[in-house]
Structure 1
Amino acid sequence: MRCRLCGSERLLSVLDLGATPPCEKLLSAAELDLPEQTYPLNLRLCEDCLLLQIPALITPEDTFTEYAYFSSYSDSWVEHARTFVAAALERLGLGADAFVVEVASNDGYLLQHVVAAGLRCLGIEPSVNVSAAARERGIPTLTEFLDEPTAATVRTAHGAADLVVANNVYAHIPDLLGFTRALRALVADDGWVSVEVHHAGNLVQFAQFDTVYHEHFQYYSVASASRALATAGLTVVDVEAIGTHGGSIRLWARPDAVAGPPSARMAELLAAEERAGLHDVSGYADLQRRADTLRQDLLRLLLDYRRAGKRVVAYGAPGKGNTLLNYCGIRPDLVEYTVDRNPYKHGKFTPGARLPIHPVERIDKDRPEVILVLPWNLEAELTAQLAGTGEWGAQLVYPLPELHVVVAGGTSS
């Protein structure tokens, strides 16, 4: 394996999660008697450019041609998108003649707010089922993977974009350099590119091992993301630390010729990364030990619940949850099933762990004593959604960023 940013062969393993199936490959009942393909999940650090990455063992086409994730099922994520759009339009002074492109636009969760503001927009979304849902909502959407030919076609047909949004997609691309050139091809020479990615600083500091899965090929610090964007003539001029996905960064980049100096906020975040050791190989040395400790603590807690005769189920079927279930070796003997708001997942089974996925109403019917919350990054939203389980004293287990238990409608321990 070579580093997909700088080409170096000096790649150091910093987190080995064993072999797991692709996290979004949900199983039908008919597939339960069939063998399931697994792939190594080994996070490596380039010792030359410090990009965190995993080997590209599956392709985007394997994951995203038909996709199980619909962004609009998270109320907090839709609100996050609404707030972003309002702030971006004001910050950039985009008027009625502006053109906004979102890459990996999913079901239109973000562009619906651009449409509501009266601006021209286009989503580029590779998943056939998800892009169809966006068009049904009136969001102009092209069903394609973004590459350089697609970018050229879009620019010819629609013109250059004043703003290109790439939220939670920059990690999903094995052809990092080609994709970055495609971003540059989409944006106007005086335009802006906004990129949101999970921050490698939080992955390392809090051992957020479940953010590592096969469709995430890269994991960025501010420094490594800036290096990547620079390969296509895009300069990062500002960075915001945001709370999504357990701690993310939003990078604002412009074509080099109009970029100007970086903001004080960007300098502060780069300095914080350096203090945390992210700009040196040594800063990543303890990640495996801390992930192993989190795994052991969670298993010990679940085993104690089961020995006490308590009924344990899970909430959510996100990709990160499947990394957690498989790395920890959690099976239906410890967690009976999970529930999800997305009807697309109902009646299916999680990959590897093979937990059945039910509608959320199943929890009210069964009244389990313990609920393991897999999308722990949505703690505030989900604790509120599950407040009714306090009626029978259910305990909500949040495995990360540190293992803790919330009594529904009550206290945390």
Structure 2
Amino acid sequence: MWHHQSHDGGAPPQACRLCGSPVLASVVDLGATPPCERFLTADQLDAVEPTYPLHLRVCPDCLLVQLPAQITPEDTFTEYAYFSSYSESWVAHARNFVAAATAGLGLGAESFVVEVASNDGYLLRNLVDAGVPCLGIEPSVNVGAVARARGVPTLTAFLDKDTGARVRSEHGPADLVVANNVYAHVPDVLGFTAGLRELVADDGWVSIEVQHLLSLVRDNQYDTIYHEHFQYYTVASAQRALAEADLSIVDVELLPTHGGSIRLWARPSVAAGRHSARVTRVLQQERAAGLHDLSGYRGFAKRVDGIRADLLRFLLDAAAEGRTVVGYGAPGKGNTLLNHCGIRPDLLAYTVDRNPYKHGRFTPGTRIPIHAPERIAVDRPDYVLVLPWNLRDELVTQLSYVRDWGGRLVFPIPRLEVVS
């Protein structure tokens, strides 16, 4: 089953971006898809749409799971469609984190906090309100402008060693550096990690939230594989990456966000000491699942094929019975699923999203129209396919009105489930 990558025409092999190992092993090949946040306007529907291979591989040496860097972060993040503030649960999650970190680390008027990939300021504005000096580093021009308008100081930049050194020389070292949902999004993992070390004080803390590869593999979350996510971490591979910049993981929290994430607490080695029992426990879980060698990745591709077969069978049967199916949400992950399954408007009439930026646009590749959420109550479809399945609890409540006409919700992952 394990086949190493073949190389044709003497092209250089795809080397591991962490350790430089020349040969990577295949985990799952999802074909070629367009970038998942490149929603199309009506006048783009007749233009050429670029697609890029989506082939996940693992390094046999350092066990970093990775995609080749087909698109640059500059392509993705100069103008970005994702504004964190549109998810209520995500805003609450950030508020709770800030409250706990402020109390736990004793942050106050004398402290300094930096958030990398601070998006629209949804997290840092809690610190601004509490009078804690802070700075956001956000590459997307349009999103950073929203943050500044809200009173959150924001630097428009990508983090690397030089950016980190510049911020430190201007503002001093940070007591806390927050990097939520960004450690997977940087192809230059070594430069980014060096930037974190530049930012943080020798006795400071770095908090990183990133999707946990253990839940991705265990719960078949293959739709979270997309071009913006260059790496997929276990605690073990994150430990190895952070060590390249003299940062040591001292604690880990398991979070329900994004279908299962880890919050890593790291410190410069000089201040780190021994790691907690929680770190030992999660490392043991990963090892037991076979993720500290190659064995845990066998069989994943086959399970992915099963998810596609089940969803297509359901949609084809619904169409044959004359039932209407529409989508809820237009998240990036939905576009991996829709493209891999080859779902078009004949099987999914449209989807809806709370983000007005997406209204009147079309999903990349599959060209499914996106409307405002109110459309569902007007059309009363038989089924609503929920694409952001990770917000299940939030959305089951929000969409309870679908029951009024006997409509049912459908969740595609971790396995197909129709909920009445």
TM-score under structure 1 length normalisation: 0.97
**Does residue 7 of the first structure (1) align with residue 7 of the second (2)?**
no
**Any stretches of 5+ residues in structure 2 without a counterpart?**
1-13
The residue type equivalent to 1:406 in the other structure is V
1:174 to 187, 201, 225: 187
1:291 to 279, 286, 304: 304
* Superposition RMSD in Å: 0.8
Aligned to 1:378: 391
The residue type equivalent to 2:163 in the other structure is T
TM-fit CA distance, 1:205:
1.0
For 1:344-403, what per-residue CA distance to the aligned partner results, in whole angstroms no more than 9, with x for missing partners?
A: 111111100111111111111111111111100000001111111111111111111222
Partners of 2:104 and 2:286 lie apart in 1 by 26
For 1:232-291, what per-residue CA distance to the aligned partner results, in whole angstroms no more than 9, with x for missing partners?
A: 000000011100000000000000000010000110000111111111101101110001
The residue type equivalent to 2:392 in the other structure is E
**Does residue 330 of the first structure (1) align with residue 347 of the second (2)?**
no
* Percent of aligned pairs with the same amino acid: 68
**Does residue 25 of the first structure (1) align with residue 38 of the second (2)?**
yes
Q: Which runs of 4+ in 1 moved over 3 A?
A: none
The residue type equivalent to 1:245 in the other structure is H
**Does residue 132 of the first structure (1) align with residue 132 of the second (2)?**
no
Partners of 2:270 and 2:110 lie apart in 1 by 23
TM-fit CA distance, 1:95:
2.3
Pairs within 5 Å for 1:174-213: 174-213=187-226
Query: Please, which moves more after superposition, 90-99 or 124-133?
Result: 90-99
The residue type equivalent to 2:50 in the other structure is Q
Pairs within 5 Å for 1:269-280: 269-280=282-293
Aligned to 2:65: 52
Partners of 2:376 and 2:46 lie apart in 1 by 27
1:101 to 114, 130, 139: 114
Pairs within 5 Å for 1:12-411: 12-407=25-420
**Any stretches of 5+ residues in structure 1 without a counterpart?**
408-413
Secondary structure at the residue paired with 1:383? helix
The residue type equivalent to 1:403 in the other structure is L
TM-fit CA distance, 1:10:
2.2
TM-fit CA distance, 1:203:
1.2
TM-fit CA distance, 1:96:
2.2
The residue type equivalent to 1:281 in the other structure is L
TM-fit CA distance, 1:115:
1.4
Aligned to 2:7: none
Partners of 1:125 and 1:349 lie apart in 2 by 26
Partners of 1:21 and 1:379 lie apart in 2 by 26
In the comparison of the two structures, how many residue pairs are matched? 407
For 1:181-229, what per-residue CA distance to the aligned partner results, in whole angstroms no more than 9, with x for missing partners?
A: 0000011111000000100011111221101000100000000001000
Secondary structure at the residue paired with 1:372? strand
For 1:127-181, what per-residue CA distance to the aligned partner results, in whole angstroms no more than 9, with x for missing partners?
A: 1111111111111111111122211221111111110000000000011101000
TM-score under structure 2 length normalisation: 0.96
Query: Please, which moves more after superposition, 202-211 or 248-257?
Result: 202-211
